[in-house]
Amino acid sequence: MIHNEMSRRRLLGLGVGLGAAATLTLAGCGGGDSSGPAAGGDGGKDYTGPKVDLKLWNGFTGGDGEIFKTLVNQFNSEHQNIAVSVATYQWEDYYNKLPSAASSGNGPDIAVMHMDQLATFAARGVISELDDVAKTLELTEADFAPTVWQGGLYNNKRYGIPLDMHPLGFYYNKSVMEKAGLDPNKPPTTRDDFTAALTELKKSGVQGFWISPFQFTGGMSFYSLIYQFGGSLFDAEVNKATFNADPAVEACTWMVDMIKQGHSPANVGQDAEYLALKSGKNAFTFNGIWQINDLKKSPDVQWGVAPLPQIGGKPAAWANSHNFTIVKQRANNANKVQASKVFINWLSQHSLDWAKGGQVPARKAVRESAEFKALTEVSALAPELDYAAFPPATPGLGEVIKTFYDSFNVAALGKKSPKQALDEGVAKANKQLEDNRKKYGS
């Protein structure tokens, strides 16, 4: 399953895409003036060649899409010999479309890609190595969370330059808490606090924590809790699925018990838990950092956001990361490649502006700046980077992750016990992992 966080926001009415696949006309890979000497290969430090037109694909269909487009326009105004045009798709369409577009010569020059997709597209030969860009930016693992940095590597070569990280956060409705006699400025941080708060909410007639059976966001909450309980989705080599081990069963059982104990309705619809928070029908929800800007548009809702409470033995939260990649072309154009690297460098250096779109900057120096800390809600989730549970960088993992979420769906809907649902999911996932090793030779 593609991690299509932004298309979820489209369903919530958070924004309109900048372009539709049905109406977008893609230019050929030649585009722009390729005459004249090729620019020097300095990893994107500068570009002195003839003017080039670059195509950039992304999936930012929510409010962050407008901020992204504004940054691209600013780049274009500062670089007279580079013109970047933006095409925006829903993420699920984007990833399906990219390989064939690239092979036919109709793909983009630059592509924004989730971290868990990099290995697949690198293994398929769709994207290019970017080690020289990392060297030009003087980026090292010390500038990032280790998982974010390692996630951009495939076969010890870099294919992605991290732009941000977007974790799951803990949203709470202050008005609902206050009505139940809870301190609206002290959201629960531990399992005991969380349980006690739910008990008080139930006394006041509120089902405080709705469990969604879908990936967005029950599955992602389950993902987080597996790591909180000391488990993992896969073994260290990503050869075997482990989301039926004791920690995962304990985490899944805890979530299913939320329904059995009356803290959540059964059969919660897609996104209903988030809409219930906004309308005052529940008090707590785990959801993505991307909801911050939506809640800011609802001044009548009194809300707060904090890192996920620690339900298990250690802190953990699902997270992913957007990376910049350069797409391989049928006919290599050295000027376009160099100009693409200049754009990536520029945007990376402007990641504070990007943070205003509701993302935590990947670069440590930006996260530690006073300007970022002034973005109160977004910066509140930055500490989760230290213990974020990112998807592993393994080719072909998308369908395996889908199997994981499907297994949780079966358990959350009460169709099978947590143990049985997860056992069956792991059996299917292990077959998929074996098939992937044959397909990708890893």
Kindly report, residue by residue over 12-26, the tens digit of the pLDDT: 333 322 223 332 323
Could you say which DSSP state residue 390 is in? P
Q: Does residue 39 surpass a pLDDT of 50?
A: no
In this prediction, residue 373 carries a pLDDT of: 94
pLDDT tier for residue 248 given thresholds of 50, 70 and 90:
very high
- The residues spanned by each domain of the chain are 5-163+321-349, 168-319+394-440
Could you say which DSSP state residue 291 is in? G
Radius of gyration in angstroms for the set of CA atoms belonging to the chain, rounded to a whole number: 22
Spatial contact of 259 and 265, defined as CB atoms under 8 Å apart: yes
Residue type, 57: W
Give mean pLDDT, residues 273-286: 97
With CA atoms as reference, report the closest residue to 66 among 17, 13, 111, 26.
17
33 or 191: which leads in pLDDT: 191
Could you say which DSSP state residue 362 is in? S
Give mean pLDDT, residues 365-389: 93
What is the rounded CA–CA span in Å between residue 102 and residue 26? Answer: 11
Q: What angle do CA 247, 254, 316 make, to 5 degrees?
A: 55
Q: Which CATH superfamily is domain 168-319+394-440 in?
A: Periplasmic binding protein-like II (3.40.190.10)
Give mean pLDDT, residues 110-126: 94
Q: Does residue 8 surpass a pLDDT of 80?
A: no
Q: Does residue 40 surpass a pLDDT of 90?
A: no
Q: Which CATH topology does 5-163+321-349 take? A: D-Maltodextrin-Binding Protein; domain 2 (3.40.190)
- 5-163+321-349 and 168-319+394-440, same CATH topology: yes
**Count of CB atoms situated within 10 Å of the CB of 86:** 21
Residue type, 117: Q
What contacts 347, CB < 8 A, 6 or more positions away? 71, 75, 163, 324, 354
Cis amide prior to 403 (ω within 30 degrees) = no
What is the rounded CA–CA span in Å between residue 69 and residue 55? Answer: 13
Spatial contact of 111 and 148, defined as CB atoms under 8 Å apart: no
In this prediction, residue 365 carries a pLDDT of: 83
For 229, the 3-state DSSP assignment is coil
In this prediction, residue 179 carries a pLDDT of: 97
| CB-neighbour burial class of residue 280 (10 A; exposed 0-12, middle 13-18, buried 19+) | middle
Kindly report, residue by residue over 43-66, the tens digit of the pLDDT: 778 899 999 999 999 999 877 888
Length of the chain: 442
In this prediction, residue 6 carries a pLDDT of: 40
Q: Does residue 283 surpass a pLDDT of 70?
A: yes
What is the rounded CA–CA span in Å between residue 237 and residue 234? Answer: 8
pTM given for the model: 0.87
434 or 66: which leads in pLDDT: 434
Tokens of 334: 């050295």
Kindly report, residue by residue over 337-366, the tens digit of the pLDDT: 999 999 998 998 898 998 988 899 988 888
In this prediction, residue 215 carries a pLDDT of: 95
Spatial contact of 210 and 282, defined as CB atoms under 8 Å apart: yes
With CA atoms as reference, report the closest residue to 217 among 169, 177, 155, 147.
169
For 47, the 3-state DSSP assignment is coil
What contacts 300, CB < 8 A, 6 or more positions away? none
Provide the mean pLDDT of the chain.
Answer: 89
% of the chain with per-residue pLDDT over 70: 90
Q: Which backbone phi and psi does 108 adopt, to 5 degrees? A: -80, 170
Spatial contact of 126 and 98, defined as CB atoms under 8 Å apart: yes
In this prediction, residue 11 carries a pLDDT of: 38
Q: What are the residues facing 172 on neighbouring strands?
A: 284, 304
What is the rounded CA–CA span in Å between residue 221 and residue 272? Answer: 15
330 or 200: which leads in pLDDT: 200
In this prediction, residue 41 carries a pLDDT of: 60
Kindly report, residue by residue over 133-163, the tens digit of the pLDDT: 888 878 888 888 777 888 899 999 999 999 8
What is the rounded CA–CA span in Å between residue 50 and residue 54? Answer: 13
In this prediction, residue 110 carries a pLDDT of: 97
- Distances, alpha carbon 149 to alpha carbons 288, 322, 332, 392, 415, in Å: 21, 12, 27, 12, 39
